[in-house]
Every structure is written in structure tokens, then in C-alpha cells.
Chain A
């Protein structure tokens, strides 16, 4: 039994994560992301219109990939394309739940491609980020 998700086990339309993966938007996680990416955007040091502290939009790259990493493919996979729509910034203290669905499976130049859609909502069901990721599946 492979210790990774095999390409043959994927089915278009299937939910990839059961249940959706959880991510706590902590001040520490946001600080570490901002520091690692040298992001000095002034709005990140201010409160939003609701008086909340917010995270950079692209921290979606952390919670979405973190979610997808809970079910890994074989080593050697490559992240080929990425789409994001940032509905609003995540707020510190929120709990995010990321769901992923297999959208399309196809071969090109002898390699297996997987397209997945992702949708991240907070604990109240508000949509935070949606996206699509294209991965070249690693060789099994």
C-alpha cells in the first residue's frame, strides 16, 4: 500500500479532503509569514473597518497548501499553476476550513496533471479565499 495518494485513486468531482482542513490564524503565524516574506504593507499594521487585525491575502498560500499537504502525492510533484480569489483578508483569531475538490485529471507529455479547486471559509461560513491549483503529479 503506497504511503501517498496515487493518481489512479483520484476521481474528477471527488472531495479531496475529508473533512476540510483546519487552520488557526494566530498572531504568531501571521508575524512569521510577514517576516519571512519581508512584507511591509502598512495596512497590515492597522485595524480593518471592523477593528480587527488582518493577515496578508497571500497567506492563503500557507493555509491552502497546508490543507493539501494532509494528503500528499508521490515525491517529485511540481506546482505548475495557481489561481486565487481573495474575497477578504483572514482575521487574526479566525479558524479557517479549506475544502478541495478534484476538478480535472489529464496527461500531457507523459506526465499526470491534477487540477483541484479549493475553497476556504471561516468558522461562520464566510468565504475567505477560493482558488485552483494545477499540480504535475510525481512519478509513482
Chain B
């Protein structure tokens, strides 16, 4: 059994560590491709004329496309822990427009021992400029 103090650092994982950021520009062509791949053809995402009539004033990316960027960051950081038992809990805070650059950040804020192993929790935030568009956390097994 590890103490709370010992779990501030476990193997290569330390509370306060930041994961490598990902920056992804989202163009309308990417949104269209995601609509095709996911089958989510809501006109808010792919029809500029319709989208102009909504509160967003134009097309916006699928929120779950932004989560795909989060998944890329976590897959590179800890594939095994993410793909086999990873947990994600997020809120969508704002739209991503075509031409926006999405910056995905993650920081380890807690390491805990569960019955079956050691798990790290990361705070996750996605930004367009200074504005957060997604916030939440993930939990992945690290040992």
C-alpha cells in the first residue's frame, strides 16, 4: 500500500507533470470528413447557410471531433492505460469554428491506488485562443 505522499510520484508519473500539447487546426473540410465518418450530418456542422440562422452564426465542429484530439494526446501518452480501462469525463463549454486552432492540454493532478492498480488522473482542457471549449478529466491506469 502506497502512502499519499509516495503517490505524488509513481514511476515516471508525477503530480504536476504536463502531457505534450496537441495543436490542431480545424478546417471545414475536416468537419465534413468527420460528418461523413460518423454519420452525424446535422446541418449545423456542414451547411453554412443553415448554420448562419442559428445562434452560432456559422458552422461549428462536432464536439466529439474535439474529443478525438483529446484521445490522440492520451493515446500517445499512455496507450495501454487509455485504451484498456481509460475513463473520460468532460463538459463542452463552447463551439469550435472552421479555421480555429484547438490546443489540447493535460496535467496530472492526482495519482491514486485502487484495488487493481495505480491510476493517474489528468485535468484536461481544450482551448481556442484563450477560450476553453472543453474541460474535464481522464483517469488511466499507470501501474
Contact = CB atoms under 8 A, between A and B. Distances in A.
A32 B39 CA distance: 11
A35 B68 CA distance: 11
A46 B44 CA distance: 36
B38 A61 contact: yes
Contacts of B30: 36, 38
A35 B90 CA distance: 24
Q: At the interface, is chain B mostly helix, strand, loop or mixed?
A: helix
A36 B34 CA distance: 5
A60 B65 CA distance: 12
Q: At the interface, is chain A mostly helix, strand, loop or mixed?
A: mixed
Interface of B: 24, 30, 33-34, 36-40, 63-65, 67-72, 75-76, 79, 82-92
14 contacts: A36-B38, A37-B65, A41-B72, A43-B79, A58-B67, A61-B38, A61-B64, A62-B38, A66-B40, A82-B92, A84-B86, A86-B84, A86-B85, A86-B86
The 4 A-B residue pairs with the shortest CB-CB distance, nearest first, are: A37-B68, A61-B64, A58-B71, A36-B33
